[in-house]
Amino acid sequence: MNVTAQSVWDNCLSFIEDNITPQAYKTWFEPIKAVKLTEGGALSIQVPSKFFYEWLEEHYVKLLKVSLTRELGENAKLVYVIKMENTYGNKKPFTEKIPSANRSAVNSQEVDVPIKSKNPELKNPFVIPGIRNVKIESQLNPSYNFENFLEGDSNRLARSAGMAVANKPGGTSFNPLLIFGGVGLGKTHLAHAIGVNIKDNYPEKTVLYISAEKFTQQYIESVKKNNRNDFIHFYQIIDVLIVDDIQLLSGKAGTQDVFFHIFNHLHQNGKQVILTSDKAPVDMQDIEQRLLSRFKWGLSAELHQPDFETRVSIIKNKLYRDGVEMPEQIVEFLANNIKTNIRELEGAIISLIAHSSFNKKDITIDLAKAIVDNYVKNTKREVSIDYIQKVVSDYFQMDVETLQSKTRKRHIVQARQLAMFFAKKLTKASLASIGTQIGKRDHATVLHACKTVDNLSSTDKQFRKYVEDLGKKLTL
Ligand code: ADP
Ligand code: MG
């Protein structure tokens, strides 16, 4: 009989299937792919993520060992290949080295994971100047697409602008398209979806997705290696450039400068630029004015927190894709309790499925409550701007109206500035929205307040004490 990775794995699977719940089998084993079998008896399996690998190691390593030993004998060895999250190679999955730990291999030896490339992204970031038709891997993740980016009031503008751009890259007035919004609200997903869609519509176009962080690293590297021009040239031949989390360029003058040149070149040549940021342009600090003004040339579209209906459909869609069923009541419970971050919502669903399949328990409302508690406890609860104003006014023994009033009396102005400072520090609200809520001021006033508080707390001992006292009261 011809023994292949697939046949060995199939036999392991039928053994495993007989020993665990159908739910657990579906969740943890169906997504695995057998990739390679060596003569020495090492079977490589591909798992979707690092989380997945850790989960298998923690909960199913014995079962894996028994099943594999039955197939391959005492020398059997298991090698995990992790398909990297958020990156995508057109031909081969990227791999990652797993740190060796005692428990991490079936045969208690090091998990030996082949490293295909030290730096899986942009294997060859620099092309020889003058050569145009090099193939650049897009670094897009096809599982982030428009079909599974569910529409709701919270994202309608951004989503449809994204689709317009995908239909006519460089040919709409949405250039650049800046998608901004809080953590976990879908910026990265949407940015990939646009890129993926462009690749479908225009296979000949060069699309590149890059995080601002990676871009910065590459730039620094290019300066060290003295090939800054090649770096710029590489980016200038791209048709659709997607830069994720551009707020990370803040304070990095060199990178901003080089990005400015690349941006201008692309824009002048009718190429599409797509940017994401966790802040609106007015709230980005330490980004050069000339760059900020360019971000505003096109369209800035905000992703808001999804409303209840959208949260429910996101959950249902995720369950559907994972082939998991969950009672309506629990879906609504989750949607009601995790509101501000879709990533957390997904995380809660994954743990719920994991807990239930591992403990062989049904998904119950109690289990859901326990998991949500865990999430809420672990994520710092955000204080509200109202609460901050209340605490600050109490501390200075004035009422909130006084704190918000137009008076220029020094101690009141200081109290107001402190409230603004803490609102900036402890909430995710924008400068503009803090200003509106604290006595209808504009964003420049809030920015000024933050700077004043910073200055005074380093020069004025009494003032520093205010800041410390209030900081303690507010974060208790
Ligand atoms: P951000 O980059 O804004 O921090 P991500 O794009 O990483 O957020 O999104 C977090 C998670 O939420 C991802 O798994 C993404 O697929 C999911 N998500 C966000 N928005 C939606 C949506 N509208 N429909 C379905 N899933 C979404
Ligand atoms: Mg992101």
Give the Å distance between the CA of 336 and the centre of ligand 1: 18
pLDDT score of 5: 94
Whole-number pLDDT of residue 89: 33
For ligand 1, atom 9, the nearest C-alpha belongs to 186
Banded model confidence at residue 106, pLDDT cuts 50, 70, 90: very low
What average pLDDT is seen over the chain?
84
Q: What percent of the chain has pLDDT over 90?
A: 58
Residue 157 has a pLDDT of 92
Q: Is the pLDDT of residue 131 over 80?
A: no
Give the mean pLDDT of 101-116: 34
Q: Report which of residues 265 and 82 the model is more confident about.
A: 265
Residue with tokens 């992703």: 303
User: Could you tell which of 144, 189, 196, 303 is best to mutate to test the pocket of ligand 1, judged by most ligand atoms within 8 Å of the CB?
Assistant: 189
Higher pLDDT, 38 or 356: 38
Does ligand 1 come within 6 angstroms of the Cβ of 302?
no
Ligand nearest to the CA of 304: 1
Ligand of minimum distance to the alpha carbon of 310: 1
Q: How far is the CA of 424 from the centre of ligand 2 (A)?
A: 21
Closest C-alpha residue for ligand 1 atom 4: 184
Cα 334 from Cα 422, distance rounded (Å): 30
Ligand nearest the Cα atom of residue 151: 1
Half-sphere exposure of 254 (CA within 13 A, CB side): 11
Instruction: Indicate whether 260 pLDDT > 50.
Output: yes
> Looking at ligand 1, which residue's alpha carbon is closest to its atom 6?
186
Q: Check residues 399 and 56 and name the one with the higher pLDDT.
A: 399
**Which residue has better confidence, 433 or 376?**
433
Q: Exposure of 302 by Cβ count < 10 A (0-12 exposed, 13-18 middle, 19+ buried)? A: middle
Q: Hey, which of 30-44, 124-138, 298-312 has the most confident mean pLDDT? A: 298-312
Q: What is the pLDDT of residue 84?
A: 53
In which residue are the tokens 């137009």 written?
406
Please tell me the distance between residue 208's alpha carbon and the centre of ligand 1 in angstroms.
20
Which residue is closest in CA terms to ligand 1's atom 5? 186
Q: Is 186 in the pocket of ligand 1 (CB under 6 A)?
A: yes
Residue 355 scores a pLDDT above 90: no
- For the segment 329-337, the average pLDDT, to the nearest whole number, is 91
pLDDT exceeds cutoff 90 at 359: no
**Ligand 1 centroid to residue 184 C-alpha, Å:** 6
Radius of gyration for the alpha carbons in the chain, expressed in angstroms and rounded: 26
Ligand 1 contact via 150 beta carbon (within 6 Å): yes
Atom of ligand 1 nearest to the CA of 189: 6
Q: Which ligand is nearest to the CA of 342?
A: 1
Q: Looking at the CA of residue 148, tell me the nearest atom of ligand 1.
A: 25
Poorest-confidence range of 26-30, 141-145, 202-206, 435-439? 26-30
Which atom number of ligand 1 is nearest to the Cα of residue 185?
Answer: 3
Interval 424-446 mean pLDDT: 92
CA 316 / ligand 1 centre spacing (Å): 14
- In this predicted structure, the answer to whether residue 50 has a pLDDT above a threshold of 50 is yes
pLDDT value for 27: 78
* CA 49 from centroid of its chain's CA atoms: 15
Among 122-136, 375-389, 431-445, top mean pLDDT goes to 431-445
For ligand 1, say whether the CB of 149 is within 6 Å of any of its atoms: yes
Which residue among 343, 344, 349, 379 is best mutated to probe the pocket of ligand 1, counting the most ligand atoms within 8 A of its Cβ?
A: 343
Rounded distance between C-alpha atoms, residue 44 and residue 105, angstroms: 12
pLDDT reading at 394 higher than 80? yes
Q: Is the distance from the beta carbon of residue 189 to the nearest atom of ligand 1 less than 6 Å?
A: yes
Percent of the chain with pLDDT over 70: 87
Asked whether 381 and 371 are in contact (CB, 8 A), the reply is no
3-state secondary structure of 62: helix
Beta bridge partners of 273: 241
What are the strands, taking DSSP E only, across 366-450? none
* CB-ligand 1 contact for 188 (6 Å cutoff): yes
Between 288 and 378, the more confident residue is: 288
- Given a cut of 70, is residue 95 above it in pLDDT? no
Q: Which ligand is nearest to the CA of 144?
A: 1
pTM over 0.95: no
Which pLDDT value is given to residue 137?
Answer: 85
Phi first, then psi: what are they for 410, rounded to 5°?
-55, -50
Neighbours of ion ligand 2 (CB under 5 A): 187-188
